[in-house]
Amino acid sequence: MPIVSLQGVTKTYPPTTRDGAPVVAVDDVTLDIEQGDVFGIIGYSGAGKSTLVRLINALEPTTRGRLIVDGVDITTLRERDLRRIRGGIGMIFQQFNLFSAKTVKANIAYPLRLAGWSKADIDARVAELLAFVGLSDKARAFPEQLSGGQKQRVGIARALATRPAILLADEATSALDPQTTHEVLELLARVNREQGITIIVITHEMDVIQTLATRVAVMECGRVVEQGDVFEVFSDPQNPASQRFVGTVVKGVPTPAEQASLRARHDGRLVTFSFRDGDSSQAQVFLDLAEAGLEFELVFGGINDIRGRAFGHLTLAIRGDSPAIDAALARIRAHATVTEIGSDAPAGPAAAEGGVA
């Protein structure tokens, strides 16, 4: 059974101007998040990601649909029962949201005090959490004495204090530099691996999804336009919005500007071959071209690794007579994705299979 299940969930806000229309922030979203997943939610600003998180966290009521968290349909619960649900969900934020007047230790102890833990239990738990996030020497420091990465580690320790089953991270690394982002992502991966906590990561940073998530949902205008295994979505995105996002991080796909530059620099027909481990082999493409007596040159490409699986895109300039090239490409299409970079048409694996001539 999924730990979080949304079934046709919609959230509508009243109009923000007197004659405006209601704002549909989340529009008929259906998705399941399995226990132990690191589930990424990605989308441009205003797509509805944070709203979705506030619904899962039971901070706001849904307008329509069913939302089941840990086996309980929270759309039917009263405030008193919702508080218990919220206790089972930890949350970390872009701006860390630490209490600046409290020490690190007091920040982490805060949810435990609210939950009525004894002082001895609180002390033991805080020490354990500080060790886990690598900040045992900072117990008495105040947030302003910490770096951004250290603040977020305090945020993570505080979110984990009451042993939640789910951790929600809304743009948790967006205020951090790349190196610190990497450290915080490592820590989140450990939280998931060592404590089995289901993590829901909301971000507009595709590389965060690429390194951390197992599954991903892409949101646009309140809707989930694509969801699935991260490798599947990254190596073969189906929706135009997913293709735009994926194109920003995936190596080997020439942008329109790069395509123009390739066309200016190389003779012959430019063709991008896309490979995924488990399906076709690149070697076969080279063999097919050589067997057809075609001359070719590798002009652009890249191989991507996601969670130990590889996929890549190689662009070749192929020279020879056109019917021979057509015949070879027809053979190759049986085992690889082939996209021709035509004169002015969009290309890349984003374009329809077979591409444009």
Interface ranges with ligand ATP (CB under 6 A): 13, 16, 23, 25, 43, 45-51, 204
- The candidate with the shortest Cα–Cα distance to 68, out of 55, 59, 84, 83, is 55
Task: Compute the half-sphere exposure of residue 143: CA atoms within 13 Å on the CB side of its CA.
Answer: 18
Which of residues 94 and 227 has its CB atom nearest to Mg ion in the complex?
94
Q: How far is the CB of 59 from ligand ATP (least distance, A)?
A: 11
**DSSP secondary structure, 185-249, as one string:** HHHHHHHHHHH--EEEEEES-HHHHHHH-SEEEEEETTEEEEEEEHHHHHHS--SHHHHHHHHHH
Question: Is residue 51 involved in binding Mg ion (CB under 5 A)?
Answer: no
CA atoms of 99 and 110, how far apart (whole Å): 10
Tokens linked to 326: 């057509």
Instruction: State the Cα–Cα distance between residues 282 and 284, nearest whole angstrom.
Output: 5
Q: Report the residue number, 26 or 129, with the smaller CB distance to Mg ion.
A: 26
Minimum Å distance from CB 16 to Mg ion? 17
Applying CB under 5 A, the span of 20-28, 42-50, 66-74, 91-99 interacting with Mg ion comes to 42-50
Q: Which is nearer to Mg ion, 93 or 286 (CB)?
A: 93
- Pick the piece of the chain touching Mg ion (CB under 5 A) from 46-54, 192-200, 224-232, 348-356: 46-54
- How many residues bind Mg ion (CB under 5 A)? The answer is 1
Buried b (16+ CB within 10 A) or exposed e, 223-251: bbbbbbebbbbbbbbebebbbebbbeebe
In degrees, rounded to 5, the angle at the alpha carbon of residue 188 between the alpha carbons of residues 184 and 192 is 170
CB of 32 to ligand ATP, least distance (A): 20
Pick between residue 45 and residue 322 the one whose CB is nearest to ligand ATP.
Answer: 45
Binding partner at 47 among ligand ATP, Mg ion, none, C-beta below 5 to 8 Å by kind: ligand ATP
Nearer to ligand ATP, 160 or 202 (CB): 202
Residue 44 C-beta: closest distance to ligand ATP, Å: 7
242 binds, among Mg ion, ligand ATP, none (CB under 5 to 8 A by kind): none
Closest CB to ligand ATP among 7 and 174? 174
CB of 75 to ligand ATP, least distance (A): 18
**CB 10 → Mg ion: shortest distance, Å?**
18
Q: Give the C-alpha distances (Å, rounded to integers) separating 157 from 115, 136, 189, 310.
A: 16, 11, 14, 34
Q: Which is nearer to ligand ATP, 24 or 262 (CB)?
A: 24
Q: How many angstroms separate the most distant Cα atoms in the chain?
A: 82
Chain residues 11-30 in contact with Mg ion, contact rule CB under 5 A: none
Handedness of CA 90, 96, 102, 108 (dihedral sign): positive
Q: How far is the CB of 230 from ligand ATP (least distance, A)?
A: 19
Q: Please calculate the CA angle 144-147-151 and round it to the nearest 5 degrees.
A: 75
Task: Give the interface segment with Mg ion, choosing from 49-57, 84-92, 155-163, 248-256 (CB under 5 A).
Answer: 49-57
**Binding partner selected for residue 51 from ligand ATP, Mg ion, none, CB under the kind-specific 5 to 8 Å limit:** ligand ATP
**Token pair in block for residue 165:** 């089953």
Cα 275 from Cα 252, distance rounded (Å): 11
Q: Let me know if 1 is exposed, middle or buried by CB neighbors in 10 A (0-12, 13-18, 19+).
A: exposed
36 binds, among Mg ion, ligand ATP, none (CB under 5 to 8 A by kind): none
CB-nearer residue toward Mg ion: 50 or 192? 50
138/5 Cα distance (integer angstroms): 38
Min separation Cβ 33 and Mg ion, Å: 18
Closest by CA position to 146, among listed 162, 168, 130, 125: 130
Among 9, 29, 43, 50, binds Mg ion (CB under 5 A): 50
What is the binding site for Mg ion (CB under 5 A)?
A: 50
